[in-house]
Structure formats: structure tokens, C-alpha cells
Structure 1
Amino acid sequence: MAYWLMKSEPDAFSWDQQVEHGIEPWTGVRSHQAQANMKAMRKGDRVFFYHSNIGKEIVGVIEVVREAYPDPTADDGKWICVDVKAVGPMPRPVTLAEIKADPDFATLALVRQSRLSVVPVSDDHWKALCRLGDWTG
């Protein structure tokens, strides 16, 4: 299993909407690097759901339930999406400020490539972030 982090602006699509919708296609990603990351995702991979812009925090965990396929919101057919489902909320949201304050996260893609909406998370970083958020799932 691989680990990831996907960003969503909560005023566009929030954690609560993810939970309400059940399985949801993660559409609208228009960055080549983020697309490459989504192409690498496999069914069963776990993903942190991160609220960007408003909140700037990890608020939940989702799981990839369908691997890359053509994004139905793309007019040109060049882009892909994956389907994800909610696994559970982060018992204690982990803020970007506390991540940046910890030197152990200096190599985390969320810190190094702050504008990228889909990033990999190493096993060690996943475990550390789960501990910070009291996630045991």
C-alpha cells in the first residue's frame, strides 16, 4: 500500500461532502505532476484529505477505490481522475503550521511542493502524521 495526500478547497469540496457522497471521483486536477501521482495510485492506497486555503489541515483519511480513468470533467480527454471513499475523520486535524514547525517533515511533499494538489507521503511521514492526528485506523 502506498500513501498520498490530496488537497481540496473546502468551499469547493469539503470533507463533509466526501463523507456524504460516499464514493467520489477526484476530478479537476490539471497539473501534470499531480496527474502522474494519481496514475501511480492503486486500489486500496490510503490518502490524507487535506483542506487547502481555508483551514490548511489534514481532516480525514480516504481510500482509492478505482484507479486512474479519463476525467469526465475534462473537455480534451487528456486528464484522469481516481475514485475515492471516506475511511474516517482525523480525530484531531493536523495543521500545516504544526507540520512546518516540525523539522522531521522538511522533506514532506506538502512542505516542499506546496502548490501541488496530489502528493506522495512516505511510510514514516504517514505514521508520524497519523500519530499527530490520533488516527488509529
Structure 2
Amino acid sequence: MANWLMKSEPDVFGIDDLERVQVEPWEGVRNYQARNMMRDDMQEGDRAFFYHSNCKVPGVVGIMRIARAGYPDEAAWDPEHKYYDPKSPPDNPRWYRVDVAFERKFDRVIPLADLKQAPELADMPLVRKGNRLSIMPVSEAEWDFILSMAEEA
């Protein structure tokens, strides 16, 4: 089982939305490195931190699990969809998605500012300058540390 961190803007799709629907396709990723992780590395049962980005207090807000491993992102084939990509035909898909399932919402946001202050997370891509990936692996030690921060609340 692997651990991940997946970012979403809460005004587009947040932890409360996932709690309401329980399972949702994580669509619209249009970065090749993140796509490769969803297509090749994420497996059913993997855990992921849900991270709210581009908001007043960006940070980790809860836990979800991968409910379905990578499969083609059908939104890329729909000309009416905001994630449409004419260079991604069904017979040779360019973009992939996974399904995520709600597990738990934290009592409080674990702010990015707090994550950056923790020496235990110094090697985590999230806290490194210039990293803008929407999906990233999380080591077991990083997972346990962030979880301990959530449980201190």
C-alpha cells in the first residue's frame, strides 16, 4: 500500500463534497508527471491525504483512499467538458484518473505553514520551493507525522 497527497481547490471540489458523495472520480489532472502516478502507481486501497489548495488556509484536511486504480479520463473525450482534450482519443488516451473514497475529515486544517516548519517533513515535495504538483507520494514516516499533527488538534 502506498501513500499519496492529492490537491484540490475547495471551491471546485473539497473534502465536504467528497464526504457528501463518498466516492468520486479524480478527473481533470493535466500534468504528465501526476498523470503517470495515477496511471502507473496508484492502486486500489492506497491512502491519500486530501489537501485544499488555492484558498485562504491551504493544508491537509482529511484522508481518502483510492477506490479504483488508474483508468482513462473520459472527460477528455467530451467536447462540451471543461477538461476536453482533442489530442486524447479513446483509442489512445492521454489522460487518466482514479476514483477516491472518503475516509475521514480532520477536526482542523493542518496548514501548509505548519507543515513547512516541521523538520520531519523537510524532504517532502509539498514543502519544497517551486513544487506545484497536484499529486505526490508521501513516505510512511511523513504520513505518520502528518497524522500525528491532525490528532494533536
Shift of 1:22: 1.2
Runs of 4+ deviating beyond 6 Å: none
Ranges in structure 2 where 5+ consecutive residues have no aligned partner: 78-87
Decide which of 46, 58, 61 is 1:59's aligned counterpart.
Answer: 61
* Equivalent residues in 2 for 1:1-137, closer than 5 Å: 1-39=1-39, 40-54=41-55, 55-75=57-77, 76=88, 77-112=93-128, 114-134=131-151
Q: Is the CA contact 1:34–1:116 (under 8 Å) kept in the aligned structure 2?
A: yes
Shift of 1:72: 1.4
Structure with more strand by fraction:
1
Shift of 1:37: 1.6
Shift of 1:114: 2.7
Ranges in structure 1 where 5+ consecutive residues have no aligned partner: none
CA RMSD of aligned residues (A): 1.3
Alignment partner of 1:50: what SS?
A: strand
Percentage identity across paired residues of the two chains: 43
Q: After superposing the two structures, state which structure 1 stretch, 17-26 or 90-99, moved more.
A: 90-99
| CA distance in 2: counterparts of 1:18 and 1:122, whole angstroms | 24
Alignment partner of 1:59: what SS?
A: strand
Shift of 1:103: 2.0
Taking structure 2 as the reference length, the TM-score comes to 0.84
Taking structure 1 as the reference length, the TM-score comes to 0.93
Alignment partner of 1:35: what SS?
A: helix
Shift of 1:109: 1.6
